[in-house]
Structure 1
Amino acid sequence: MKRAKLIRILLLLAVFLPLLVSAQEEESAEVFLEEYTDEFQEYFFEALKQKGIENYDKAINALLRCKEMDPESPVIDHELAKTYRLNNQMGLAQEFALDALRKQPENLWYLSTYLELAGSRSLDLNVLKGQIPFENTRLKENLASLLVEKGKFDIASRLLKQLDQSEFKTRMEARIADSLAVEDNNMVPEPVEGEEEEPDPYQTRVSRLQDLMEKANFGQLEAEATDALEAYPLQPFFYFMKGVALNGLERYESAEEYLLMGLDFIANDEELTNKFYKELATTYQGLGDPDKANMYLSRIKNGS
């Protein structure tokens, strides 16, 4: 019974982990679990299980039963959005992503999912104003962060002008200026002898983490991957590196959480997807679950 409860809590944390940054908030996730009936819990975890083994229709049906019991839960709406997307039902995915965001407009991850599903339309501020709770300051800050992450500096700058002066606004404007300076350096002739080119901060982190991984310095890799995720929370590569580090430290349960979460952010990158599958196989071998390890190894394409 204790093991079953632990597995359920870990599954729940896999859903909430992007939002959990302290022990107190981890407790709140467990409270979320305990507030619901046994029937709700059974359907919720059945949905996560079926989603994990790619039985998306069954996962959706279980989530819809949860929604019948709690129509106002943004967590269920967000899970439905992600699962409908995996099932290639994009219209319904967008509908539930928008429902989740309207219920919890300050949630960065709900906004990110909505933007991904809305596609190019989501980069038009005039369109967004008519769809999402645009009067919410935190939502606009989250939107600015995501636009900067996507390299949409012009739109992000226009949005930042609508915000009052703050530490966040100053930091974002500085980041845009730094990124544009790097772009400009790539377009001008070779620097004068003796001058040093401005390094790309993202690529610098990537190279540093790869070096630590090659040296099997897992303690430092875990610390620096955590820092990288704080700066680039939507980059799957950094979730992968965090998972590698945690596997190296034999913290397999935490590795599972980060690797599964990182998979949600991958779009059309078969090479990186294969790396995640290989690392998850290592995780499940460490957890003593060879069936799951073999399942992920079987998903690797092109023998990578």
Structure 2
Amino acid sequence: MNNNWKHICILCLFLEVGYIPAFSQDIEPKQDVNVDDLGDVSDEFQENFFEALKQKAITNYDKAIEALEKCVEIDPDSKYLYLELGKNYLELKSYQKAEDNLKKVLEDNPNDKFVLELLFETYFQQHKYKESIVVAEKLAGFNSMFKEQLANLYFLEKRYNDALATLDQLDDEYGVDKYRSELRKRISSKITNPDSQINRLEKKINEKPKEEQNYLNLIYLYSKNNQKEKAFETAKVLLKGNPESELAHLALYKFYLEENNIEEATNSVKVVLLSDKIEEEPKYKVINDFLLFIDKNPQYEPQLLSIVSLLSDNENNQSIFTELGHYYYKKDHKEQALNFYERSIKNNINDFALLKRILLLQLDLKRYEKAETGSELAIELYPAQPIFYLINGVSSLYLQKAEKAIEILTTGIDYVIEDPKMESDFYKQISTAYQKLGDTTKASEYQQKVNQLQKKS
């Protein structure tokens, strides 16, 4: 079965607004019936059956159904006729008729995987989730990845315990998955009495004390229900039983921050940020929480610097460097901000806002060669953005390239639309460039344009 089994998962993102998107379940290809499979049938039957296959192949589903109905009149006991009818009705979105015909096929072979998949899609398209669950439970016996669809369907039907139990099975079988973790949180947020889930997780921890994810799930439940002390104790138990656990520090750092234990908090943050097991998104949250703490407690900024010094410039740290850049930018520490922004842009070159901020900081800090090179790249990426032409022109002026500056500035000003301030900036730089070339007439001409725009504003 193809990997599109996850499509159903999109449902959960829209439930709060009542939107249920269509689901397209990929069905494993099954060879159409050929003449040898038909058995001893009449010429009329054969003619109509293959006419049906021909019409289906060219998407004339109505005509295919007409031909199949003629076959049914001749031989109503041939189950493959109802399979073909079911497929054609499904294509026409005549779901009830598709369902009726597929059920006839299953009367003789109730565990036909291919027909069950078609029936699953038929139910799902009608938003018959209870019926979908019954079929999906059978299909899970053929392909355990249907369990993820089951978890979503249980969620839709508010069978939260079943949904979480199914997610547990998937985690045990395939390991932790980012999507399933988010789904687990959504399900947990709907549970008003978490005691049964807490008991279930405590039992799983007793059975498998080395399974870290069960501790994290339990910590989340405790935290969500304002049982912070129990959550903290669970995190410490995890670390005690698994001293090399990196995931434990995903929970511990926050508890340490809350009790102002900066030494242990710093240690946990370092473990998380240096971990190869932890994905970028959780790392981003950790550094963001730590920065919020440092912002309120600036005396601990040296601890931040000790953390930053350990980070390599690999792509897993891009969002962390961006967040550090924002932190220093807000504090007007331009050198530090630019340093982190430049480290974050390496694998994020299409981030327009970040690219613009870097180039403006480079200008501000007189890094004209970098600003010139970077703005040339930015113009290639965003040829209709005048700000990059302006930055390139200003950089060229400071690098004593007045002719180049005039060329780029007169090109870029054509992209300025209803922005008198920017238009004035362009004219001012062009005037300066002509002044450097000794052309006072042109310099005066553009300065007059600047003056006119300033009077209007």
Q: TM-score, normalised by structure 2?
A: 0.24
**Which has the larger Rg?**
2
Q: TM-score, normalised by structure 1?
A: 0.34
